[in-house]
Homo-oligomer: A and B are copies of this chain.
């Protein structure tokens, strides 16, 4: 089932809203590691709720280089930008085995007609994605490899924490060095070198796919930017006239 904590971070949902959100998606689809959910250029009819597993979305540039736009984690919504296009902007591929739930655009549209407040929260979520892209942009191409990796690991750390899979600053990291490279715009070779430096400095530790942040504070000092948190339920969110039945939280 789609984890709704992302929406609960934006506002208290009424029971109505919660169930509307949960009934957005079709029956869940299970994917093996390395499968392609959607290919750049495909015609699209909806988007995906991310239920479990690691997934990434990528672009292939004319030069042949692959750009990984983002690593998606459960709770994310995948492929929503395509609603404004006729062909998919990016390729969505599973990293580990994963579960998704498809949302046809028609059902999504009904949200705007019947659940205006939820539609607004959706728009907030999109804005948060946009902000995170802005932050990535601020770092990519401007910060050093060291700084970029620091930011990446901190970002994953904060996003994985609400999923309950981080303990003692340790988590599974199913990304290859090449993926990390495509994610940051750094060569895999240089990622390797930089990781070694971070390890030598006692900032991080890797045992197979198990990844540990040894010195969170120092890593935060290196990272040029800190993850953002959305504002919870701004006072203007609910109309004074209607749709105000949301004081009762779920």
Contact = CB atoms under 8 A, between A and B. Distances in A.
A86 interface: yes
Contacts of A122: 123
A112 B106 contact: no
A193 interface: no
A233 to B, nearest CB: 11
Contact of A112 (B81, B112, B136): B112
Contact of A126 (B86, B126, B141): B126
Interface of A: 10, 45, 59, 61-63, 65, 67, 69, 80-81, 83-86, 89-90, 104-106, 109-110, 112-113, 116-117, 119-120, 122-131, 133-134, 136-138, 140-143, 185, 224-225, 228, 230-231, 234, 236-239, 241-243
What number of copies of this chain does the assembly contain? 2
B236 A134 contact: no
A45 B237 CA distance: 11
B239 A85 contact: no
A230 B83 CA distance: 9
A237 to B, nearest CB: 7
B243 A85 contact: no
